[in-house]
Each structure stands twice: as structure tokens, then as C-alpha cells.
A and B are shown apart, each in its own frame.
Chain A
Amino acid sequence: MRNAYLQAMHELAGRDRNILALISDNGAVVYDKYRSAYPEQYFNMGISEQNMVSAAAGLASCGKIPFAYTISNFLVYRAFEQIRNDVCLQKMNVKLVGIGVGFVYSNLGPTHHGTEDIAVLRCLPHMTIFSPADPLETRNVTLAAAAINGPVYIRLATGGSPAIYEKDYDFVVGKAVVLRPGSDITVMSTGSGVHEALQAVQELAAQGIAARLVNFHTIKPIDREAIVRAARETGKVLVVEEQNTSGGLAGAVAEVLMEEGMGGIKFRRMGLKDSFAQGYGSYHDLQEMNGLSRRYIMEAAKSMVADTVPEGLS
């Protein structure tokens, strides 16, 4: 995703000299190509996230379009008040780009995991939140972010994310994508969680369970229609995300279901159960240790379809 983001930034910077890449001393090497092509549209702001975000707002007020990039948790948690007051309250045209969301920086531990970023930023007025699932989608949301005149947060996994889309698709801001059709249950996911969910849904299909998979590349505004349709047509919704189960995508989906009078459907949240990600190891190891690998997703989906509640999910 990171490379796709940088490629899109390269194109944007070439088109518009107001596009700026701000970084907080993170990702310097991967920016080399961009930096040599557009040295005047690149600033390493130092290890100073608060200053990066406030200064970005100042730059935006003079017509610049800064993309402020660093590891998601440093950006979102350290500079939260700057994001709230200087960017959102002032409706500034600032793009915030958080890298390493979920626990893709598995071995670095919870200080480097972005496992509450959706919940934390979803509550801010004027904010658009993009959560792409693969490199192609990263490109789409980056170009879309530049076209929006206002605050945008793009949450990215790291490099080497596998492709979800085989070819280009109809990308519309705020419109979730049905990756697999199905009528037995709907699995909803976003960002780095989509890949594992897709594997699970494919294996479920081989076992005769038709699970619909819906990818929310836009968290805010949330696609209410896709949620309502999934609830009406499948009656069961399982939300899978590398987030604390409190306030993330599942929270957004639950809010819509209740408001639309669909609180009676079967609904489960799969994520971190009011905890930080446990353990060290590879990304896959952490998916296993935190109950978010495909076998856990399959188990949860099957039990919902069979109408039995598995241990630990109630």
C-alpha cells in the first residue's frame, strides 16, 4: 500500500505544485524518488507530530494541500487535539496519512499498533476516513483525497500488502464494495483485515456457505445502504477488523443497524476485545494470537449461520 500511495503522490505532485508531502522522520528512504523529483514539495518535519499537523493546517490556509504522513498511532494519538482543532474545526484541506494500521507492525508491540485509530477519528466532524484494502484501492483513495476540499484521514497497512482486486473497479467515495456475493451471512471488513476475511469467505464457499464479503474502503461517511441491504438480504452480519471492538467499523455498522430499526438481526464484532494486540511474532502470528486469522473468522461465521454462539463471542 505504501508504494501505491507514493506512486499516487508522485503523480499528484507533478500535476499540482501545491501538493506537499510532509513526513515526521518516517519513511525517508521510500520517499527518495519523490523527494528527488519534487524537492520543494517535500518537508521532513522532524519527530514533531504536533507541529507537523498544526503547520499543515497553516499551510492549507494559504492554499497548500499537505499530506502529513507518519506511523498512524503517533499521528492520530499524539496529535489528536491538533487534528481536532486546527484541521477539523477550521475545516482545513489537510490530508493525514497513517501508516502501519492494525497490528501490521506486529513485532514492534502495541506502542506501534494502530488499533483504535478508526474509533478515535470517526467522532470528528468534517473528517473523511479512507481505509483501503490493497494497493489498487490505496491509489484510488489517495487520488480521491486530493480531490476533496477538506480534512481526510487515509489509514494504510505497510508495504507488501497482497492484492484484493484483480482489476480496476468502480470506486466511489462512501460506497462499499461487495467483493463476494452471498446470501447466508455478510462479512464486513476494512483495510488490512479484508485479506484474511476474503480467504475465510472463499474457504466457506468451498464448504457450501455463501458468505457475502463487503469491503468498506470509506469508513466515514459510512455506506448506510450497503449495511441495510446486507442486513435485509442475509440477516446476519459479522464485522472483522484489526481494531478494538469498541468504536471501530463495527461501531459504525451497529449505529446504522439500530437507527434503521434492524437491531434484531444477528450481529457479531470480531476484533480486539477491549485489549491491545497480544504477543510478538509475524503479522500472521498476531492474527492467530488475537483470534483474527481465517479459521477464527470461519468458525464465527459458521456458528452464526448454524445459529450457535461460539465460546468467547457472545
Chain B
Amino acid sequence: MDNLALKAQQIRKDIFKTICNGGGGHTPSALSIVEILTVLYFEILNVDPKAPRHPDRDRFVLSKGHAGVALYAVLAEKGFFDKALLGTFGKPGTMLGGHPDMHKVPGVEASTGALGHGFPFSVGLALAGKMDKRPYRVFTIVGDGECQEGSIWEAALFAPKHGLDNLVCIVDHNKFQAMDHLDEIIPMAPFADKWKAFGWAVHEVDGHDIPALRDIFSRRPIAPGKPAVIIAHTVKGKGISFMENVPIWHYRMPGPKELETAAAELGLVLNNGVLS
């Protein structure tokens, strides 16, 4: 097994443990971006926990801030803060809330949570990088449902005009939004064509395929003179069978029987209701 795949499996465990111990979170939304975040933070991004504000660091913005626990698990694994702090998630006195706070959590670049903000914010980061001729790249993950926000398309119009090829937008295309399948609510298809029409270089990948993600993210730039969007086909709730592609789990905690199933599938030990 690829070392990174093992790392991803560890992150999945950490996410589930963190959310269960903390009493609630957007579990399936976090599980769909595990491989994307793992590849970015352990092979692609030029970030250093010892110099978290370095001006030339790569920037990562989680525009779909409700998947914040996935980012916390990766940042802890990367060494931005002590992994034991994951156990404080959602409890009084913690720095780790349901949505990430840039002023509290080391390594978090933007306080996101309301949808349609992190992506245009990332456009500003990329524009500043171009103006100052800095070498950094900016990566952001938006949800596919998040792309129903008008502000996403305002930013999508702006970035190609300024040739922001230092900007990579990853769409977590898990096909589900909070209540149901996108096609049942607001269909986004043809998704790739929309981005192409706006002037973006578009690539589609399996968002759980580590070598494929590694390959596309390693291209610098992905397309000269153009911002790039990577439509990552993912499974919402990936890794926990009963959560996969079932919308009701968007924000729900498993009961005792479900906890047993999830623990077994993820390789966690369940003892008196406590995961380890």
C-alpha cells in the first residue's frame, strides 16, 4: 500500500474519532476530501509548521469550511499543532470549532463556513502573488453544492481575466448537497463545460485516486496563463458504508450499532462507546 494511502486511512480515523468525541460535525463532507488533503499537505504544498506565515508559502483555503475537521486532522498530522488537541474539538476552551478560524488554528489561512467566500478570497491571494511575483500557489477546495452560490461565479469570471495560473480550485464533486443529490435540487451538469466556458483549464479526476491527484497537482502550472479547476469525483461519506451517498448523514451522529459498524470499517477500536 502506498504510504500516502496509509496516511489517508489514518486521517479518516482521526476525523471520525474527533467528530464522535466532539459531539457532532459534517462527517461525510469531511470524508470525501481526505485523499485530496493528504496529497496536498504531504506531497504538494510548500508549507512549514515552523514558519506558518512565511510570505512564500503555498496557501490552502478550505472554502467548504464545514469539512473543517478534515483540515484539522491533516494539520495535526503535519505538525501544525499537537494531535491530542483533536480531542478538544467542539468543547469549551478549544480552538477547534465546527468551522475553522484563522486567528485560532495554526495553519488555517481563512475563516470559512459561510459558502462562497473562500474561493473569491483565494482569488485575492493569487492576485497578490502575481503582483509581487512570488512563487507560491493557491489551492482551494469548494463543494459542488457550494457552486450554487453566485459569488463563486463572480470569482470564476475574474480569475481568467488576470491569468491566475497560480490558482488551483478543486471541486469536491461528491454529487450531494445538504438535503439531497444535486440533480434533485439544482443540477450542476454539465459542470466541466461551465468552467471551460468561463475560461478555466479543466481536469476531471477520481478524487480518491492518490496517484492521479499527485500527477495533476504536480504540474506547475497546470495550464500556463489560466487558472485551473480540478473536478474531483468523490464519494460523500467515503469509508463508512452506511454513510456513503446517503444524504441524511450530512449532519448526524451514528447510534451505538452504527458506531460499531463504522469502527470496524475504519479499523478503530470501540470500547464502552469510546473510539481509539
Partners in one complex: yes
The minimal Cβ–Cβ distance linking B164 to chain A, given in whole angstroms, is: 11
A50 with B109: in contact, given A40-B131, A58-B124, A58-B125 (CB under 8 Å)?
no
B128 in contact with A59 (CB, 8 Å): yes
Selected from A55, A62, A86, A90, the residue in CB contact (under 8 A) with B132 is A62
Q: Which residues of B contact A51 (CB under 8 A)?
A: 120, 123, 151, 154-155, 157-158
Answer yes or no: A217 CB below 8 A from chain B CBs: no
Q: Are A90 and B155 in contact (CB under 8 A)?
A: no
CA distance A61 to B59 in the complex (A): 11
A50 near B154 with CB under 8 A, answer yes
Pairwise interchain contact B121-A81, C-beta atoms closer than 8 A: no
Interface residues of B in 138-188 (CB under 8 A from A): 150-151, 154-155, 157-158
Is the Cβ of B123 less than 8 Å from the Cβ of A50?
no
CB distance B127 to A55 under 8 Å?
Answer: yes
A46-80 vs B, Cβ < 8 Å mask (1 yes, 0 no): 10101100111111111110000000000000000
Q: How far is the CB of B90 from chain A (nearest CB, A)?
A: 19
In the complex, which residues 73-89 of chain B have their Cβ closer than 8 Å to any Cβ of chain A? Answer: none
For B110, list chain A residues within 8 Å (CB). Answer: 58, 61, 86, 90
How close is B12's CB to chain A, nearest CB, in angstroms?
Answer: 29
User: Given the complex, which residues of B lie within 8 Å of A40, measured CB to CB?
Assistant: 131
Contact pattern, B 99-124, Cβ under 8 Å of A = 1, otherwise 0 = 00011000001110110110111111
Contacts of B55 on A, CB cut-off 8 Å?
62-63
> Closest CB of chain B to A22's CB: distance in Å?
10
Judged by a CB distance under 8 angstroms, whether A35 is at the interface is no
Interface size class, chain B:
20 to 34
B68 contacts across to A, CB distance below 8 A: none
The reply to whether the CB of A303 lies closer than 8 angstroms to some CB of chain B is no
Whether a CB of chain A sits under 8 angstroms from the CB of B129 is yes
Cα–Cα, bound, A40→B125 (Å): 16
Partner of A55, one of B102, B109, B113, B121: B121
Contacts of A91 in B (CB 8 A): 103
A57 with B124: CB separation less than 8 A: yes
Please indicate the chain B residues that have their CB under 8 angstroms from the CB of A85 in the complex: 111, 113-114, 117
Asked if A58 and B154 make an inter-chain contact with CB atoms under 8 angstroms apart, the answer reads: no
Say yes or no: A48 contacts B114, CB within 8 Å. no
- Chain A CB within 10 A, most for which of B109, B129, B158: B158
Q: Interface code A81-102, partner B: CB below 8 Å = 1, 0 otherwise?
A: 1100110011100000000000
Measured in the bound complex, the distance between the Cα atoms of B131 and A56 in whole Å is 14
Q: Is A4 an interface residue (CB 8 A)?
A: no
Report whether A54 and B128 are in contact in the complex, using a CB–CB cutoff of 8 Å: no
Instruction: State whether B158 touches A46 (Cβ < 8 A).
Output: yes
Q: What is the distance, in angstroms, from B103's C-beta to the closest C-beta of chain A?
A: 7
B117 near A59: Cβ-Cβ < 8 Å: no
Q: Is the CB of B158 within 8 A of A54?
A: no
Q: How far is the CA of A81 from the CA of B111 in the complex (A)?
A: 13
CB-defined contacts of B124 to chain A, threshold 8 Å: 54-62
Known: A59-B127, A61-B125. A54 touches B151 (CB 8 A): yes
Given contacts A90-B102, A91-B103, contact A54 B125 (CB under 8 A): no
Question: Which residues of A lie under 8 Å from residue B150 when comparing CB positions?
Answer: 50
Give the shortest distance, in Å, between B77 (CB) and chain A (any CB): 24
Tell me whether A90 and B103 are in contact in the complex, defined as CB-CB below 8 angstroms, given that A48-B158, A58-B128 are known contacts.
yes
Known contacts being A50-B116, A54-B117, A86-B117, is A64 close to B128, with CB within 8 Å? yes
Distance, CA A56 to CA B117, complexed state (A): 11
Contact check, B121 vs A89: say whether CB atoms are below 8 A apart: no
Measured in the bound complex, the distance between the Cα atoms of B129 and A61 in whole Å is 11
Find out whether the CB atom of B103 lies under 8 angstroms from the CB atom of A63: no
Which of B102, B128, B157 has the most chain A CB atoms closer than 10 A to its own CB?
B128
Nearest to B118 among chain A residues (CB) is A54
* Chain B residues close to A by CB (< 8 Å): 55, 102-103, 109-111, 113-114, 116-117, 119-129, 131-132, 150-151, 154-155, 157-158
Chain A interface residues (CB < 8 Å from chain B): 40, 43, 45-46, 48, 50-51, 54-64, 81-82, 85-86, 89-91
Task: Please name the 5 residue pairs, one residue from A and one from B, whose CB atoms are nearest each other, closest first.
Answer: A58-B124, A62-B128, A54-B120, A51-B154, A55-B124
A-B contact pairs, 6 of them (CB 8 A): A48-B155, A48-B157, A50-B116, A54-B121, A54-B123, A55-B155
* Besides A54-B119, A56-B124, 5 new A-B residue pairs in contact (Cβ under 8 A), listed by A number: A55-B120, A58-B128, A62-B132, A82-B120, A86-B110
